[in-house]
């Protein structure tokens, strides 16, 4: 299941190239310490080469010290696509003047425009501020200093721990409500809010981990968290209103909300296709069964889709006979028995929570 955008995945992958301890980051640190400034393009495609003029053809193996020495010249440095070779140095970038940029400094303005023009990685090292800025397509990312990173990472880790506890409590409430047939819209909205907040906090912490490199070892979270987040976000597939095309439409709307928008229950309800007033819907909601079936061992999501398509609701899946389940494409008798046993065990072991979990936004 997709839980982060293509832009985010591209940015995270690029940040990993610049983590402390990597050869590229070591060379950039030399530039920052030497206060020379620099403009670096990662990519040597024919398109990029055609957009440069002047300078020197280097074509040598990359080393951090070579990058630093070449940065003492005014022009840009071109690295190969894998950043293992220095291709050219002291080149002038021919930037399309019609491309907009909000940057003010000449070096950063050129980097921003060239990244948008070529859709390649461009790095600008500020001589005056001793800072590194990454440009990737339309994205801009400023690397932070170590004390700021450590402080922000610790705060994010603390917030994530609190959000995870609240999410787990809310999921316990929803588990009981689903298996007892008493789900209301407030249960659903609160749990989605918390699952999405955990996803965002974990994503933010992951960027801190990447920027801190080895220093972030103590900030590693349990490997089960990603699975728990993905499973929690299946709630949108369980409860999106039939007026919507599918659950992905609701999930995308929720993921596009900013922090203030996510704090509004009305926005979550509306994204699911329901009225903004979550208390205006008095009927119990019926889950389709995606999230519960995802907890059954060794069952691919494609087969979960087949089961939900056949039975429509979790209640009908729970009460289906073995021969009805095994008739579904991809299930078979062994898997049908596993599904029946797992759901029955959930029903007998899930107890009503003493208190309903409150949203972490309240």
- 316-331 pLDDT, tens digit per residue, is 999 999 999 999 999 9
Select from 244, 264, 286 the last residue of a domain: 286
pLDDT (0 to 100) of residue 357: 43
pLDDT of residue 220: 64
User: Angle CA(182)–CA(185)–CA(186) in degrees, nearest 5?
Assistant: 95
* Residue 270 covered by a domain: yes
What mean pLDDT is predicted for residues 307-323? 96
Looking only at the bridges linking them, the beta strands covering 76-79 and 38-42 are parallel
At 184, list the tokens.
């209301």
Give the residue-averaged pLDDT of 59-79: 96
Give the number of other Cβ atoms within 10 Å of residue 98's Cβ.
Answer: 7
Of 277, 293, 258, which Cα lies nearest the Cα of 178?
293
pLDDT at 3 exceeding the cut of 50: no
- Count other C-beta atoms under 10 Å from residue 181's C-beta: 12
Residue 54 covered by a domain:
yes
* pLDDT at res. 6: 77
Task: Flag whether pLDDT at 9 surpasses 90.
Answer: no
Nearest to 94, CA basis, from 75, 79, 68:
75
Number of Cβ within a 10 Å radius of residue 232: 24
Which helix (H) or strand (E) element contains residue 139? strand 139-142
Same domain, yes or no, for 275 and 305?
A: no
Residue 41 domain boundaries? 6-143
Exposed / middle / buried, residue 361 (Cβ in 10 Å: 0-12, 13-18, 19+): middle
> Can you tell me the distance from the alpha carbon of 178 to that of 345, in angstroms, rounded to the nearest whole number?
14
Residue 250 and residue 342 share a domain: no
What pLDDT is recorded for position 129?
83
pLDDT computed for residue 217 by the predictor: 66
- This prediction's pTM: 0.79
Residue-level pLDDT at 91: 97
Question: Where among 92, 112, 143 does a domain terminate?
Answer: 143
Is 356 domain-assigned? no
pLDDT digits (tens, 9 = 90+) for 181-235: 999 999 999 999 999 999 999 989 988 988 888 667 666 656 678 888 888 889 9
């Amino acid at each position: 299941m997709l839980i982060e955008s293509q832009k985010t995945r591209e940015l995270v992958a690029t940040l990993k190239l610049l983590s402390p301890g990597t050869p590229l980051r070591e060379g950039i640190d030399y530039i920052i310490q030497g206060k020379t400034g620099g403009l670096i393009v990662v990519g040597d495609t024919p398109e990029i080469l055609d957009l440069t003029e002047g300078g020197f053809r280097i074509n040598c193996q990359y080393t951090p010290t070579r990058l630093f020495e070449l940065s003492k010249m005014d022009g840009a440095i071109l690295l190969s696509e894998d950043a293992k070779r220095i291709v050219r140095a002291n080149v002038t970038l021919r930037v399309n003047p019609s491309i907009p940029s909000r940057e003010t400094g000449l070096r950063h303005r050129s980097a921003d425009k060239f990244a948008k023009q070529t859709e390649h990685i461009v790095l600008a090292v500020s001589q005056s501020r001793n800072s590194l800025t990454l440009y990737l397509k339309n994205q801009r990312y400023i690397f932070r200093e170590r004390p700021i990173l450590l402080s922000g990472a610790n705060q994010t880790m603390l917030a994530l721990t609190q959000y995870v506890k609240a999410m787990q409590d809310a999921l316990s409430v929803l588990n009981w409500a689903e298996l007892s047939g008493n789900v209301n819209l407030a249960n659903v909205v609160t749990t989605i809010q918390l699952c999405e907040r955990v996803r965002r906090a974990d994503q933010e912490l992951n960027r801190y981990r990447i920027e801190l490199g080895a220093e972030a070892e103590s900030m590693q979270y349990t490997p089960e968290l990603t699975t728990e987040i993905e499973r929690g976000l299946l709630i949108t597939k369980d409860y999106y209103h039939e007026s919507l095309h599918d659950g992905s439409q609701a999930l995308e709307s929720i993921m596009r909300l900013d922090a203030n928008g996510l704090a509004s229950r009305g926005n979550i309800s509306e994204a699911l296709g329901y009225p903004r007033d979550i208390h205006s819907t008095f009927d119990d909601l019926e889950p389709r069964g995606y999230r519960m079936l995802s907890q059954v061992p060794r069952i691919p999501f494609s087969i979960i889709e087949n089961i939900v398509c056949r039975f429509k609701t979790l209640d009908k899946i729970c009460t289906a006979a073995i021969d009805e389940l095994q008739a579904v494409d991809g299930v078979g008798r062994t898997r049908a028995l596993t599904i029946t046993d797992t759901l029955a065990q959930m029903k007998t072991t899930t107890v009503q929570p003493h208190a309903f979990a409150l949203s972490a936004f309240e």
